[in-house]
């Protein structure tokens, strides 16, 4: 039975994340968005608060527990961080999106070797290189190749829209060992920063999440040791593709939680505007219509949150959650677009105050949640395939 009454530890984690968002993120949010830069002091503060010393050891050990709460704790905390600033949340030091495939597919020795890097008290990031130009969400159409040459893998290809790609110390890169095998040829490889042949291309200039680094990565005869192939569960034909899909099943609820956090921030700020800035003589029936719109959004925020929590709860118990992960991401992604668009429309009249600047920023940030970690169309396809397994859905 699922009980989403927060324990004392979960409530403490939520409160702490909200405090960090309020004290560390909101004060620099608009400036970081404007300049597309983040002060180094922010990274060190986040390293100290979330990933330093013993905290890193506890986090990694927690991943190994039979019944764990890491995914649920993460989405609870990430909602609060996105309430502060979703772009800054994605820039927090740590293995990030590199961790799920390493933990799922790496041998115990590989896990200790690669993830141990993040426990030395310094600033380190991780990244996941999955998306390629021209294939969008079609992971099976991947064109990046990996060829075994003696004791080394040689990787050639092109990845883009890689979060923290330019600063990452380790990049888990998905490539095919045989294009003729389609999805069955896909494998995950760990590529360290500075490897010859790993080239950082352009840093994207984006409409939203502007402070979040999104990089292009080019692999030109990039050679890595043979043991950088993640194959801890064996090398069955579908294992690499399963690793890619398993990573998305873990990260899609996280994306959903970020969307919920932004939607909640927009909702709360619009409610404040209604109480504090709406002219006293504004027609009562129009004010009531605004309040009804906001009440509907509040209900949808609650629904999105519980979809996210359910998917994370299942992931913690190793219950297959592809359908639930896609549901949480699709619903929250649509909600954040609706919530921020409504907020901008309702508060449009008046001067360009800091409150409106935040709402406009969140409106720009919201769009990507309909796109990354699989578009809304892909989420509906995943859901349909699991609701109707007897039908051959392409």
CA angle in degrees (0–180, nearest 5) for 330-331-335:
120
Query: What 3-state class would DSSP assign to 19?
Result: helix
Size of the chain in residues? 394
Q: How far is CA 85 from CA 44, 88, 206, 309, 370, in A?
A: 17, 5, 15, 20, 18
Query: What 3-state class would DSSP assign to 150?
Result: coil
Give the C-alpha separation, 56 to 49, whole Å.
10
Structure-token match 């993460």, residue found: 74
Angle 239-276/354-366 helices, nearest 10 degrees? 160
57 and 119 Cβ atoms separated by less than 8 Å: yes
170 and 127 Cβ atoms separated by less than 8 Å: yes
Q: What phi, psi does 280 have (nearest 5°)?
A: -60, -35
Tell me whether residue 268 is one of the annotated catalytic residues.
no
Catalytic residue among 24, 132, 239, 373: 373
Instruction: Enumerate the active-site residues.
Output: 373
């Amino acid at each position: 039975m699922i009980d989403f009454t927060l324990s004392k530890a979960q409530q403490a984690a939520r409160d702490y994340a909200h405090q960090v968002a309020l004290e560390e993120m909101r004060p620099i949010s608009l400036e970081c968005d404007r300049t597309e830069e983040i002060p180094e002091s922010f990274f060190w503060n986040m390293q100290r608060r979330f990933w330093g010393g013993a905290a890193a050891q506890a986090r990694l050990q927690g991943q190994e527990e039979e019944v764990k709460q890491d995914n649920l704790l993460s989405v609870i905390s990430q909602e609060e961080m996105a309430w502060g600033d979703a772009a800054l949340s994605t820039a927090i030091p740590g293995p990030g999106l590199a961790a799920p495939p390493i933990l799922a597919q790496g041998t115990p020795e590989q896990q200790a070797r690669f993830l141990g890097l993040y426990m030395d008290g310094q600033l380190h990031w991780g990244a996941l290189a999955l998306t390629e130009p021209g294939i969008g969400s079609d992971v099976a159409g991947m064109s990046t190749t990996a060829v075994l040459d003696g004791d080394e893998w040689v990787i050639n290809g092109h990845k883009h829209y890689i979060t923290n790609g330019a600063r990452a110390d380790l990049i888990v890169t998905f490539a095919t060992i045989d294009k003729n095998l389609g999805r069955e040829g896909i494998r995950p490889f760990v590529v360290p920063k500075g490897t010859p042949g790993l080239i950082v291309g352009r840093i994207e200039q984006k409409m939203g999440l502007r402070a979040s680094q999104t990089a292009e990565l080019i692999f030109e005869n990039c050679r890595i040791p043979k043991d950088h192939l993640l194959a801890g569960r064996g090398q069955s034909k579908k294992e690499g593709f399963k690793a890619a899909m398993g990573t998305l099943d873990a990260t899609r609820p996280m994306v959903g939680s970020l969307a919920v956090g932004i939607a909640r921030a927009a909702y709360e700020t619009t409610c404040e505007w209604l109480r504090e800035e709406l002219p006293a003589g504004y027609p009562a029936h129009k004010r009531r219509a605004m309040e009804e719109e906001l009440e509907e959004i509040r209900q949808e925020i609650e629904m999105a949150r519980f979809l996210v929590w359910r998917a994370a709860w299942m992931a913690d118990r190793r219950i297959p959650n592809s359908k639930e992960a896609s549901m949480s991401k699709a619903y929250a992604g649509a909600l954040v677009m609706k919530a921020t668009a409504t907020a901008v429309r309702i508060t449009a009249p008046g001067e360009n105050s800091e409150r409106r600047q935040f709402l406009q920023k969140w409106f720009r940030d919201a769009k990507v949640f309909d796109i990354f970690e699989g578009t809304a169309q892909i989420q509906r396809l995943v859901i349909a395939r699991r609701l109707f397994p007897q039908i051959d859905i392409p």
